[in-house]
Structure 1
Amino acid sequence: MSPMTLSRPPLTVGFDLDMTLIDSRPGIKATYEAFSAQVGVEIDADLAVSRLGPPLEHELAHWFPEAEIEERVAQYRALYPTYAIEASLAMAGARDAIQAVREAGGRTIVVTAKNEPHAKLHLTHLGIDPDAVIGGLWAEGKAEALREHSAGVYVGDHTGDVRGAAAAGAVSVAVATGPCDEAELRAAGADVVLPDLTEFRAWWEAYCG
């Protein structure tokens, strides 16, 4: 779908969290290192943070048998607020992207695979204040929240975000700031690919006409 096929700009824009609005790599790496030491299992934290996007359970399946995943998720999440929140930074242009939508009279929501309490901790710490935060949704599953909030645009950094936008009938705006490069994002069907969120305002204002 091309943005030009819509008769008016959407009133709600959805954003992914990790590597779209925030650079959570330093915090997640620190959490994995502490988690690895606690459970006595060697985890390559650098490798883990190079493939952010899917739910935590997907990553932990690389390091633990299926029967342990639920327990390990709980252990990791117990450590997360201590190690990940202060170490994670806002991505360039993140606050301005939220503001640009608001200036046009729109609403912003964050739809992320991260569990919702930790997503909210990140956003509060960084002073990013969307109208709603919905956690625990991945790829096509994100369409549930996007449709519920009537989001006409979804901004993300992963091919899973592109698929989520498509499943919701929303315009997919991809930013090449995560694990997927421009070619991968375009191949997945992104309507627009931006180098990062510093380019979002210009695109949004042109889109709103």
Structure 2
Amino acid sequence: MNLVVGFDLDMTLVDSRAGIVTCMQRTLADRGVDATDEQLWPLIGAPLADNLAQFLPAEQVPDAVEHYRSMYPAVAVPMTTALPGAHEAFAAIREYDGRPMVVSAKYEPAVHAVLDQVELRPDIVVGDAFGAGKAIPIREHRATIFVGDHEGDMAGAVAGGAYPLGVLTGPHDEARLRAAGAQSVVPGLRSFGPWLNDYLSGPPAR
């Protein structure tokens, strides 16, 4: 069996909320815009430029993206922690001689920096992919399952032909994940190992 399991990064494998919100708030404040945690939290997981465009004129967005990215390694990365069960999820995949993969909307150098920070070592890392765009690496690497907290993750899994597994550690609830295509939903990655055992031994748990 060639088992490849893909994961989203932010709020699926790692708790990056504080760092992302801090960098977003600083970037926006330098341009005269105040944004609350409550405004920014639901946006985590979507492309940075799209999120900044909700607060800034289009002509300011490219410079704001560069500003955000310049501060991210020093400000956000040290604030990022692995979510409970993330390391165990990778270990469960490798017990079946499988390969963990990370596919994120985040700028790829930042993906590597975050993974190094939390000491997660996937076999495959892809950045700058969101929504249906995640289907390209999912298909290319023949992922069996794709795990994510965001509606875009479920859309990418469906489009890429992987089994869409939602986790409830991000801003979207079970109803939204299922509406976007999730066939199963677990509360977090602590549940992933038992779910994977069930999935590989019989009909998918729902």
- 1:37 and 1:138 mapped to 2: Cα distance? 26
Structure 2 match to 1:145: 137
Cα deviation per residue 1:144-181 (whole Å; 9 max; x = unaligned)? 01111111110000111111000011100110111110
170-179 or 34-43, larger mean C-alpha shift: 34-43
Q: In structure 2, the residue corresponding to 1:63 is in which secondary structure?
A: coil
Is 2:154 aligned against 1:162?
A: yes
User: Unaligned stretches of 5+ in structure 2?
Assistant: 202-206
Q: In structure 1, the residue corresponding to 2:21 is in which secondary structure?
A: helix
Structure 1 match to 2:5: 13
Letter in 1 for 2:7: F
- 2:34 and 2:150 mapped to 1: Cα distance? 27
- 1:29 and 1:61 mapped to 2: Cα distance? 15
User: How many equivalent pairs are there?
Assistant: 201
| Identity rate, percent | 43
- 2:110 and 2:70 mapped to 1: Cα distance? 10
- 2:31 and 2:73 mapped to 1: Cα distance? 18
How big is the shift at 1:37? 4.0
How big is the shift at 1:27? 0.9
1:131 to 123, 128, 133: 123
- 2:25 and 2:46 mapped to 1: Cα distance? 19
How big is the shift at 1:207? 1.4
Moved over 2 A (4+): 32-46
Structure 2 match to 1:3: none
How big is the shift at 1:199? 0.4
How big is the shift at 1:194? 0.4
Structure 2 match to 1:174: 166
2:78 to 73, 86, 89: 86
How big is the shift at 1:45? 4.1
User: Unaligned stretches of 5+ in structure 1?
Assistant: 1-7
Is 2:42 aligned against 1:50?
A: yes
- 2:83 and 2:17 mapped to 1: Cα distance? 11
Letter in 2 for 1:15: F
- 2:46 and 2:29 mapped to 1: Cα distance? 23
Q: In structure 2, the residue corresponding to 1:32 is in which secondary structure?
A: helix
- 1:75 and 1:46 mapped to 2: Cα distance? 22
Structure 2 match to 1:192: 184
104-113 or 185-194, larger mean C-alpha shift: 185-194
Q: Is the 8 A contact 1:12 1:151 kept in 2?
A: yes
106-115 or 32-41, larger mean C-alpha shift: 32-41
- 2:31 and 2:58 mapped to 1: Cα distance? 16
Structure 2 match to 1:4: none
Structure 2 match to 1:98: 90
TM-score when normalising by structure 1: 0.92
- 2:38 and 2:76 mapped to 1: Cα distance? 14
TM-score when normalising by structure 2: 0.93
CA RMSD of superposed structures (Å): 1.3
